[in-house]
């Protein structure tokens, strides 16, 4: 038979493989249901940074003067700031790439790279140059 594959392991290995496949299917179904419920929404870099600062820092509220104060180690803050900037850059450049793929901007409405690997389009649109010219000080 042309497409058949023969399993050359023990019965125990086969049973473990079948069980792992069953568990993977269940996990996939749960994750798909959760995604439909909106549990896997992407965060903006700003939302991520706020969550991180609030989770790593000690916060207290002074209601009488309407102030929330957060104390965080300077090295943690600098690390979070660096990570947030990297997330923001990735999101901006990802959105730009998606825009080029959808609109074929710059190719007179034609998309000569349709179905090609993203790296080919990235080579043509030079995302890093765009980011540095647009967002770097």
pLDDT in tens, 25-71: 888 788 777 777 666 667 889 988 988 888 888 878 877 888 888 88
Q: Is 106 part of any domain?
A: yes
Length of the chain: 137
Same domain, 37 and 50: no
Output DSSP code: residue 63: G
Q: Is 3 part of any domain?
A: no
Which ranges constitute the DSSP H helices of the chain?
11-36, 45-56, 74-103, 118-125, 127-135
For 69, the enclosing helix (H) or strand (E) is strand 67-71
Same domain, 36 and 73: no
Hey, is 2 helix, strand or coil? coil
Q: Which two tokens stand for residue 115?
A: 């179905």
Q: Is the pTM of this model over 0.85?
A: no
**Would you place residue 1 in the very low, low, confident or very high pLDDT band (cuts 50, 70, 90)?**
very low
Same domain, 52 and 34: no
Range of the domain at 29: 9-41
Stretch among 20-29, 41-50, 112-121 having the lowest mean pLDDT = 112-121
- Number of folded domains that form the chain: 2
Hey, is 62 helix, strand or coil? strand
Residues contacting residue 67 through CB under 8 Å, at least 6 positions apart:
61
Within 10 Å of residue 66's Cβ, how many Cβ atoms? 7
Same domain, 33 and 59: no
Give the separation between CA 84 and CA 86, rounded to whole angstroms.
5
Same domain, 52 and 27: no
Closest CA to 88 of 53, 127, 49: 49
Same domain, 99 and 126: yes
Alpha carbon 124 to chain centroid, angstroms: 23
């Amino acid at each position: 038979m042309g497409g058949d594959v023969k399993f050359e392991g023990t019965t125990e290995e086969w049973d473990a493989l079948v069980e792992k496949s069953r568990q993977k299917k269940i996990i996939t179904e749960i994750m798909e249901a959760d995604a439909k419920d909106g549990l896997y929404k992407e965060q903006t870099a700003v939302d991520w940074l706020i969550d991180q600062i609030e989770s790593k820092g000690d916060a207290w509220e002074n209601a009488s003067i309407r102030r929330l104060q957060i104390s965080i180690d300077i090295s943690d803050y600098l690390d979070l700031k660096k990570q947030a900037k990297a997330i923001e850059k990735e999101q901006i450049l990802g959105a730009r790439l998606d825009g080029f793929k959808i609109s074929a901007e710059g190719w007179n409405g034609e998309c000569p790279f349709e179905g090609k690997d993203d790296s080919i389009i990235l080579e043509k649109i030079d995302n890093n140059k765009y980011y540095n010219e647009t967002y770097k000080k």
